[in-house]
Amino acid sequence: MTAETAPPATAVPAAAAAADADADAFADSTVADLWFDPSCPWAWLASRWLLQVEKVRPVRVRWHVMSLSVLNEGRDLPEQYATLLAQAWGPVRLCIAAAAAARHGDAILQPLYTALGRRRHLQKAEWDTETFAAALTEAGADPDLVAAATSTDWDDALRASHADGIGRVGMDVGTPVIAVGETAFFGPVVTPAPRGEAAGRLWDGVLLVSGTPGFFELKRTRDQDPIFT
């Protein structure tokens, strides 16, 4: 992205303004940085879990974009997955464009991700112009940003955000990536998203194991598809 391609500034939407007004809360809270790709169902579930964590622990989430399409560039992939990744460029470009400093700032990412994710993962919508325009409108962003989904103007900013997240955990993982201070990890991969105090207990445990020096991995075979209810 260059200065010549950046769109003109507009007013901050109501959702973003509300998030900015709450910025002081970060000073007294643990900050969790989340990198997400809107196309990933597991990132969606982890994000819904973190929203629950915010209710039961002194935690505030900062939202960032990463891209499975960028992560898998140059890899030999099954045709079906390659097709999905080709479609996945649209929503990440949309998020980066909406968050660009000249527009709405990072505060737009949470409401926009929620609007996109609900349509995609709960309503099974396609990644198309109609879905993008409806999500932008719901989040309080400019509907004309829908053009960003098929533009490469924002790809440098997208790659920079992706590199910031994936650089904390390494290339052999995916999304979500979560960082708390100097501790970062991939996951958790969990379904359904825990709620209430169960969300808080999982948070406590994830911080404990991920903060242990030399700890790298816990894993077992997935025997359930994502559960979104």
Q: Write the CATH number for 70.
A: 3.40.30.10
**217 domain-assigned:** no
The domain total for the chain is: 1
The whole-angstrom separation of Cα 66 and Cα 158 is 7
**9 domain-assigned:** no
**189 domain-assigned:** yes
**218 domain-assigned:** no
**81 domain-assigned:** yes
Q: pTM of the predicted model, to two decimals?
A: 0.86
Domain that holds residue 202: 31-210
Residue 69: the pLDDT is 97
Which pLDDT tens digit goes with each residue over 197-217?
Answer: 999 999 999 999 999 999 998
Residues in contact with 74: Cβ distance below 8 Å, sequence separation at least 6, in sequence order = none
Which pLDDT tens digit goes with each residue over 122-139?
Answer: 999 999 999 999 999 999
